[in-house]
């Protein structure tokens, strides 16, 4: 039975090269493996620990070789006994999760070593030596090295505080971790643990995923588990929400519309992103006389918004009671989170995309966001925002913080060519014919042409096409779900973001 919270084949094939989080060992080497387990437990870079794969050989570039060399079955009990003895020598004692796995018919042992609760840890240079010397070990890129001098002192300072998302929450119970949500997550990331989860108690499952800990008689969920899987995490973390605020007259105007998103962290983030994409993003197609290819531009490119908002979710403090706020106007989209970036990051480095932080405030949250493909980590967010905005032809984004680093603001300017388009939905009533008006108010989600005819009570298909559907398509109120296959039998029609905003701008209609 696999005890890993991830799929081993994905671990080997997608994260192929040895790195800070994975090390391959051809065979059982107690000295080297114990030192590496100690290094992962210290989790110096706050990356969530790592994995040691025993029985997996690799080439000179650190890439695993398939099929792996594997381990002989008679070795397994001996390795586990010696590992237990070696981990007892780590000070304080630390025991990774051990799982026996099968890859292409070969047997491997995988040690999952998450960042420890009681770091710093030190391990003997040689576990078999009669006279042992203990050292502190950390990971540097793909190597395990001894922490010396300033690095050792920094490790001591880091150890003074377990990251908030990895702490036990003694105000909650294991029942506050709904098992169905955890199982759905395991299925989404295609973890091998998904098949075993229904057979496990919530305590066993939460402990295997490092979502809970503490003594057997009184286990506690960790904050990260409550953030991702509790249906109402704001009960434990006040201010855990994303507020999306629309200013139709600009931030200085008297009118605004606000929508609040709450719930488990990943779902809340996705729902907020979907809402923004559906209601506030506008695309236009620019045709060129000198070439067949067209240029597509957006008022705000979705990839930049996604990166900025997910970064805010990743890096905000969950000890703060302030929500993440997204403020949208015709001119810009602004994302505000609290607190600001680490003081080691200089503002000029942020502006140019050269800022690199290895002090992640929420290492466990980062792990889950990476598994869900919501973030890459590795300080790639700001460079990606810069790149996407430039590719869209937009002005450069602006990154702001204050001297005390109390907040972080990301400003995404609207594309100049589309800056006024959000306003047009409140000014074009006279441009909408009675027929188009009827069509827009009839539409509910994705509808086929026959669905629309039935909803309108019409039978004359050509009149419907020429007087209703074509004008709405040409004006950008309605779009095809399959624009490249206009005559497909699976073609459906839906409101564009402009069409949705027109409905909301008129009494008696609402965004659908």
Residue at a domain's end among 366, 386, 418: 418
Q: Determine the pLDDT at residue 272.
A: 95
Q: Determine the pLDDT at residue 355.
A: 62
Q: Determine the pLDDT at residue 30.
A: 95
pTM recorded for the entire structure: 0.61
Q: Average pLDDT of the chain?
A: 85
Residues 409 and 266 in one domain: yes
| pLDDT > 90 in the chain, percent | 51
Q: Residue 237 domain-assigned?
A: no
Residues 455 and 360 in one domain: no
Q: Residue 370 domain-assigned?
A: yes
Flag whether pLDDT at 416 surpasses 90.
no
Residues 24 and 153 in one domain: yes
Tokens representing residue 492 in the block: 């459906």
Q: Residue 165 domain-assigned?
A: no
Residues 326 and 433 in one domain: no
Please report which confidence band the pLDDT of residue 390 belongs to, taking 50, 70 and 90 as the band edges. Answer: very high
Q: What average pLDDT does this structure show over 256-262? A: 92
Please report which confidence band the pLDDT of residue 425 belongs to, taking 50, 70 and 90 as the band edges. Answer: very low
Flag whether pLDDT at 430 surpasses 60.
no
Inter-residue contact 8 to 192 (CB < 8 Å) = yes
Residues 149 and 57 in one domain: yes
Residues 140 and 260 in one domain: no
Q: Residue 511 domain-assigned?
A: no
Residues 409 and 444 in one domain: no
Q: Residue 46 domain-assigned?
A: yes
Flag whether pLDDT at 456 surpasses 60.
yes
Q: Which helix (H) or strand (E) holds 97?
A: strand 97-103
| pLDDT > 70 in the chain, percent | 87
Flag whether pLDDT at 235 surpasses 70.
yes
Residue-by-residue DSSP string for 395-449: PPPEEEE-TT---EEEEEEPPGGGTTHHHHTTT-GGGS-HHHHHHHHH--SSB-H
Q: What average pLDDT does this structure show over 388-407? A: 90
Question: What confidence tens digit (pLDDT) does each residue in 117-170 have?
Answer: 788 999 999 998 999 999 999 999 889 999 999 999 988 877 666 788 988 887
265-280 vs 497-504: helix crossing angle, rounded to 10: 90
Inter-residue contact 392 to 298 (CB < 8 Å) = yes
Please report which confidence band the pLDDT of residue 1 belongs to, taking 50, 70 and 90 as the band edges. Answer: low
Q: What CATH number has the domain bearing residue 429?
A: 1.10.10.10
Antiparallel, parallel or unpaired: β 106-113 and 134-140: unpaired
Flag whether pLDDT at 210 surpasses 80.
yes
Backbone angles phi, psi at 233, to 5 degrees: -65, -20
Inter-residue contact 12 to 53 (CB < 8 Å) = yes
Q: What CATH number has the domain bearing residue 62?
A: 3.30.950
Q: What average pLDDT does this structure show over 32-42? A: 96
How many structural domains comprise the chain? 4
Q: Determine the pLDDT at residue 460.
A: 83
Q: Determine the pLDDT at residue 508.
A: 47
User: Where is average pLDDT lowest: 36-40, 280-284, 369-373?
Assistant: 280-284
Q: Residue 2 domain-assigned?
A: no
Question: What confidence tens digit (pLDDT) does each residue in 475-496 have?
Answer: 778 889 988 788 888 999 998 8
Q: Determine the pLDDT at residue 375.
A: 78
CA distance 278 to 271: 10
Antiparallel, parallel or unpaired: β 106-113 and 242-246: unpaired
Q: What average pLDDT does this structure show over 200-216? A: 89
Pick from 322, 332, 229: nearest CA to 280? 332
Structural domain of 80:
8-160
Pick from 64, 37, 15, 46: nearest CA to 144? 37
CA distance 194 to 184: 8
Q: Determine how many CB atoms are found less than 10 A away from the CB of residue 369.
A: 22
Inter-residue contact 425 to 505 (CB < 8 Å) = yes
Question: What confidence tens digit (pLDDT) does each residue in 54-82 have?
Answer: 999 988 788 889 899 999 999 999 999 99
């Amino acid at each position: 039975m696999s005890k890993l919270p991830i799929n081993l084949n994905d671990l080997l094939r997608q994260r192929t090269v040895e790195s800070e989080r994975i090390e391959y060992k051809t065979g059982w080497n107690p000295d080297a493996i114990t030192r590496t387990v100690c290094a992962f437990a210290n989790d110096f870079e706050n990356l969530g620990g790592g994995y040691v794969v025993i029985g997996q050989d690799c080439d000179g570039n650190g890439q695993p070789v398939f099929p792996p060399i594997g381990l002989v079955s008679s070795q397994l009990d001996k390795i586990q006994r010696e590992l237990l003895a070696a981990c007892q020598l780590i000070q304080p004692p630390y025991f990774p999760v051990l799982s026996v796995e099968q890859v292409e018919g070969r047997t491997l042992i995988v040690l999952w070593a998450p960042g420890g609760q009681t770091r710093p840890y030190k391990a003997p240079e040689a576990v078999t030596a009669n006279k042992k010397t203990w050292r502190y070990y950390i990971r540097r890129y793909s190597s395990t090295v001894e922490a010396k001098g300033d690095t050792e002192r920094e490790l001591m300072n880091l150890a003074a505080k377990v990251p908030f998302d990895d702490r036990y929450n003694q105000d909650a119970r294991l029942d506050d971790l709904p098992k169905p949500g955890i199982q759905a997550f395991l299925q989404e990331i295609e973890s091998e643990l998904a098949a075993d989860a229904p057979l496990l108690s919530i305590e066993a499952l939460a402990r295997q995923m490092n979502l809970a800990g503490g003594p057997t008689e009184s286990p506690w969920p960790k904050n990260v588990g409550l953030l991702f899987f509790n249906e109402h995490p704001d009960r434990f973390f006040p201010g855990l929400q994303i507020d999306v605020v629309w200013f139709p007259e600009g931030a200085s105007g008297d009118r605004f519309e606000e929508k609040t998103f709450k719930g488990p962290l990943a779902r809340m983030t996705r729902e907020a992103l979907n809402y923004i994409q559906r209601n506030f993003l506008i695309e236009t197609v620019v045709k060129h006389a000198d070439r067949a290819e067209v240029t597509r531009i957006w008022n705000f490119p979705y990839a930049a918004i996604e990166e900025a908002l997910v970064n805010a979710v990743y890096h905000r403090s969950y000890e703060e009671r302030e929500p993440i706020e997204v403020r949208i106007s015709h001119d810009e989209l602004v994302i505000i989170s609290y607190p600001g970036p680490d003081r080691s990051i200089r503002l000029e480095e942020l502006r140019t995309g050269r800022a690199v932080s290895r002090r992640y405030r929420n290492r466990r949250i980062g792990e889950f966001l990476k598994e869900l493909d919501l973030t890459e980590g590795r300080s790639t967010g700001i460079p990606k925002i810069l790149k996407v905005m430039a590719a869209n032809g937009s002005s450069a984004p602006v990154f702001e913080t204050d001297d005390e680093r109390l907040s972080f603001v990301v400003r995404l300017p609207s594309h100049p060519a589309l800056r006024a388009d959000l306003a047009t939905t409140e000014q074009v009533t006279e441009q909408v014919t009675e027929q188009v008006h009827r069509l827009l108010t009839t539409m509910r989600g994705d509808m086929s042409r026959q669905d629309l005819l039935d909803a309108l009570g019409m039978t004359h298909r050509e009149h419907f096409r020429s007087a209703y559907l074509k004008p709405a398509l040409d004006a950008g109120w309605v779009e095809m779900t399959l624009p490249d296959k206009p005559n497909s039998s699976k073609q459906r029609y839906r409101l564009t973001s402009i069409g949705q905003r027109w409905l909301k701008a008129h009494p008696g209609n609402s965004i659908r």
